[in-house]
Structure 1
Amino acid sequence: MLYHRITTIEDAYFRPMHELMQKVFPPEEVLAYELWAEPLQDPGIRVFVAVHEGEVVGATEYRFYPDLEVAMTDFTIIGREGLGIGPFLASERMRDLRSVVAASGSRWLGMFAEIYNPYLSESLGFGGVKPMNPYVRREVLAHLGYRKLDLEYVHPSWHNDGEAVHGLDLCFMTVDGEGDSVKAELVWRFLERYYAVLPQKPEAWLHMVEALKRRDTIRLLPI
């Protein structure tokens, strides 16, 4: 299986990756095709696809913030069952991420990830792809060491229409697996940086960030 990085929408694998995203994710979670042109040129954004016999069967996007010393998994897509796509993406992503951290001369505290809470959003079908079932995905993240932050989480719609997207948890995986909390300042600084690209912020998101600024720490809870 090939682990291939995409850095332009002209890449032959980009369109099938975008179509796969549209198949498994709700519309408000998918950035429009043409709006990918600029982000893909950002050296800090790492977009890779898993290619099996010429077909895009999986994808992942992640990034590392050297000044914050944290990473973020933007998405992970498994398009077919029975090929070991999940373990392949996880191991290749970790290998690449460690090289990025080493090249930055920084240290790495952990990685954020958003995950759908099926107990709040049971209607999500994710294109009928069984490995993308939110119950399965939560268990996978739990096994990887992710825990959810103790807060009512919302995020801005990627349609940039000012709508708040509910039904997700913000999770964090510490590199050493230790600790039962994370500094609130790290969380709100990360969120402001991550969503700076979306100028239309919903009021619910702004209130959430302001509440985080009044806290010292945030507990990490089992998923």
Structure 2
Amino acid sequence: MPVERIDTADIPGGGQLHLMRCGPDFSIQFGEDELMGSLDFGSEKALATLACERMGLQQDRVLIGGLGMGFTLRAALAILPAHTSIVVAELVPKVVTWASGPLTHLFGDTLADPRVELEIRDVHDVIVNAPQGFDAILLDVDNGPDGFIQDANDRLYCNWGLRAAFAALRAGGVLAIWSAYADDAFVDRLHKAGFMVDEVRVPATIGRERTPYTIWLAAKPR
């Protein structure tokens, strides 16, 4: 079945994302690398469900970094109580356009939910400007804990970036980060920033030979 490029989105600071379609299936690619696809989304859902399960009773405000195809947002809306406010920070404006265009069938009415506040903004800027502002921060903006999409994203995963995330969480809050691979050095940085860390491997649902994805659940002590 032929692969078709549906649209291209410029990334602020340089680079492009490509929205691809193969029959009924869609994917978002950066260069030759697939960032996410409509067939294999179990780990994106797990990012939300695992984090929310560890948040405890305080679930007032959650930050999701990266809109993607909306799977993490949909899972968060399904599990979080009606009073929870969910802020979604998306850097690339056209990704939001895709959500109400060719990817409407994936998003449904999630962005119209009154609990959702969408910001076209770098998630790093949201974090550093919200001390003790969130009960959970869910990050799925790169393929792992490094600046894959843009070099500036390194500041999310460096020592001082993790300290900023720690400061943006309320006591008992959770920083959850999706990755396509494991990284022991990153776990060490999470510990040094003050987090208690749980590493979860989530198997890919497409292709038995694929390496499991990694989700780090870093809790701020109460």
Superposition TM-score, scaled by structure 2 size: 0.32
> In proportion to residue count, which structure has more helix?
1
Superposition TM-score, scaled by structure 1 size: 0.32
